[in-house]
Amino acid sequence: MQPQAAKQNEPVVVANNKRANFEYFLLEKYDAGIVLTGTEVKACKTGKVSMSDAYCYFSSGELMLKHLHIAEYKQGGVYNHEPKRERKLLLKKRELRKLEAKMKERGYTIVPTLVFISSKGLVKVEIALAKGKKTFNKKESIKEKDLRRDMDRHLSGD
């Protein structure tokens, strides 16, 4: 799966966390830089990223991303990276303090929603401050999605 070529000044989406929207209410979104090695950057640019189990947590005042799977780069050789290693996320101090304070409240978490390549060619992660959905909220989401799909079908069928 190659990322789609974007026009100038448009970000290219490399990976999308579809489960995050289903499992959580996404309250605030932030674009964070990510500390990567050379082979990780090359693997990201070829689209070899999976974020199905990825999550964020704070470790000694730094925001870390765990279980983001970046496949090994074919031409990496001995310099290849560990596919599921912990990676540091880069945000402004003000944003980090705000997120850390919210994380201490019950029910809040930080989930990665997108991995994308910015217009400047940098790999970035969109993270969201989220609150977990209960089972009945998930059922409502499914109903709304089904209704939207039915409406689209009926409108396009006329």
Residue-wise pLDDT tens digits, 17-27? 888 887 888 88
Q: Is residue 147 part of a domain?
A: no
Q: Is residue 6 part of a domain?
A: no
Q: Is residue 66 part of a domain?
A: yes
Residue numbers of the domain that contains 33 = 12-133
**What is d(CA 122, CA 145) in angstroms, rounded to the nearest whole number?**
34
Q: Is residue 28 part of a domain?
A: yes
Residue 7 binned pLDDT confidence (cut-offs 50, 70, 90): low
Q: Is residue 150 part of a domain?
A: no
CB atoms within 10 A of CB 73: 21
Q: Is residue 155 part of a domain?
A: no
Instruction: Identify the three-state secondary structure at position 28.
Output: strand
Residue 3 binned pLDDT confidence (cut-offs 50, 70, 90): low
Give me the number of domains the chain comprises: 1
Burial label for 157, CB within 10 Å (0-12, 13-18, 19+), is: exposed
Q: Is residue 60 part of a domain?
A: yes
Q: Is residue 138 part of a domain?
A: no
Instruction: Kindly report the CATH number assigned to the domain that includes residue 47.
Output: 2.40.280.10
Residue-wise pLDDT tens digits, 84-139? 788 889 999 999 989 888 888 888 888 999 989 888 888 899 999 888 877 777 78
